[in-house]
């Protein structure tokens, strides 16, 4: 299964190279359902697959949006949202580091989401 995935990514890379396209960055899946611990864990595994895909494609950057544990609904606890994001991003960056892939956190389109504010993203990354 992993060998098939790697082969598919290497074929994509070869096609891109033949067309003169360098794969500089890859955007991870979005939107995803982050509304339970089980779903976040499944999403983390999928993002790990994306990290390996980046490595096979020669991309050093994987773009992701912050985790939205309340979905599109109102946030009840912004501090908890920060904790969930910090935990998710820490796990993913720890996994990505040996692959030479940098995790990049993209802004959010949802203005009522606390992580949509640039200062919150900066605070999380410090």
Give the pLDDT confidence of 74-100 residue by residue, as tens digits: 888 999 999 999 999 999 999 999 999
**Sorting pLDDT into bands at 50, 70 and 90, what band is 48?**
very high
* Bridge partners for 63 per DSSP: 27, 104
Place of tokens 């992580």: 115
Report the predicted TM-score, pTM, of the whole model to 2 decimal places.
0.92
| Spatial separation of the C-alpha atoms in residues 18 and 98, rounded to whole Å | 28
Helices (H) and strands (E) in the chain, counts: 4, 3
* Bridge partners for 25 per DSSP: 61
Q: Please, what sign has the CA dihedral across residues 60, 25, 58, 3?
A: positive
Place of tokens 């500089």: 24
What is the model's pLDDT at position 17?
A: 97
Alpha carbon separation from 25 to 20, 45, 55, 58, 73 (Å, rounded): 15, 19, 11, 9, 30
Q: Please, what sign has the CA dihedral across residues 28, 30, 35, 36?
A: negative
Compute the average pLDDT of residues 103-118.
83
Is 126's pLDDT higher than 90?
Answer: no
């Amino acid at each position: 299964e992993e060998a098939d995935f790697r082969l598919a990514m290497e074929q994509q890379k070869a096609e891109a190279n033949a067309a003169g396209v360098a794969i500089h960055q890859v955007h991870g899946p979005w939107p995803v359902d982050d509304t339970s611990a089980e779903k976040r864990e499944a999403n983390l595994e999928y993002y790990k697959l994306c990290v390996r895909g980046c490595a096979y494609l020669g991309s050093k950057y994987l773009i992701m949006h912050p985790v939205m544990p309340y979905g599109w609904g109102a946030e009840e606890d912004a501090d908890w949202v920060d904790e969930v994001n910090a935990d998710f991003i820490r796990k993913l960056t720890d996994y990505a580091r040996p692959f030479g892939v940098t995790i990049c956190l993209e802004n959010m389109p949802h203005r009522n989401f606390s992580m949509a504010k640039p200062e919150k993203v900066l605070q999380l990354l410090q």
